[in-house]
C-alpha cells in the first residue's frame, strides 16, 4: 500500500492557520475545519480549513507536496505571484509555509490597495 506524501510543513491545527493569517495581516472572523479535498486517505490526519475574512472565505489545505490556497469565495481576482507554480486569479499552490505566508501577504496588499483606490502595482517579489 502506497502512503501519500505530504508537504514537509503541513498545516494541521487551527492555531497554525490563524498564525498564517496573523503574519499576513488578514483579519480572521472564523476558522472551520473541513474534510481534506485532495485525498480521502488524509481526511483524518490533514484537514483543510475555511477561513472567513472581511473579503470572504479563503480555503487552504495540504495536497501531496504543496499547500493549496483558494480565494474563489471572495470578490478578489488577482494572481499573487510570478513564481513557476500552479496559480490563477483565485488560487495558488505554495511549496512551503513561508511561501504561503508570502502569497497571503500579497493578496492582502492587493485588497488594501483596491480599498484605498490606489492604482500602483503590488510588488510580487515579496521574500
CA distance 79 to 97: 18
> Which of helix, strand or coil describes residue 41?
helix
**Amino acid 20: pLDDT:** 97
Inter-residue contact 85 to 94 (CB < 8 Å): yes
| Contact yes or no for 44/70 (Cβ under 8 A) | no
Q: Tell me if 87 sits within 8 A of 110, measured CB to CB.
A: no
Q: What is the pLDDT of residue 64?
A: 82
Cα-based distances in Å from 97 to 2, 5, 9, 10, 119: 25, 16, 6, 8, 29
Predicted confidence band of residue 1 (pLDDT cuts 50, 70, 90): very low
| Percentage of the chain exceeding pLDDT 70 | 83
* pLDDT over 70 at 86, yes or no: yes
| Per-residue pLDDT tens digits for 25-83 | 999 999 999 988 887 766 667 899 999 999 999 999 998 889 999 999 999 999 999 99
- Residue listed under C-alpha cell 502595482: 121
Q: What is the mean pLDDT of the chain?
A: 88
Mean pLDDT of 96-124: 87
Question: What pTM was estimated for this model as a whole?
Answer: 0.86
Amino acid at each position: 500500500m502506497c502512503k501519500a506524501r505530504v508537504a514537509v510543513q503541513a498545516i494541521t491545527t487551527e492555531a497554525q492557520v490563524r498564525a498564517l493569517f496573523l503574519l499576513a495581516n488578514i483579519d480572521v472572523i472564523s476558522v472551520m475545519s473541513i474534510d481534506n479535498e485532495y485525498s480521502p486517505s488524509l481526511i483524518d490526519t490533514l484537514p483543510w480549513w475555511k477561513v472567513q475574512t472581511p473579503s470572504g472565505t479563503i480555503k487552504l489545505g495540504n495536497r501531496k507536496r504543496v499547500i493549496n490556497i483558494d480565494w474563489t469565495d471572495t470578490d478578489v481576482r488577482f494572481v499573487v505571484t510570478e513564481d513557476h507554480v500552479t496559480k490563477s486569479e483565485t488560487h495558488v499552490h505554495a511549496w512551503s509555509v513561508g511561501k504561503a505566508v508570502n502569497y497571503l501577504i500579497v493578496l492582502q496588499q492587493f485588497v488594501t490597495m483596491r480599498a484605498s483606490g490606489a492604482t500602483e502595482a503590488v510588488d510580487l517579489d515579496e521574500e
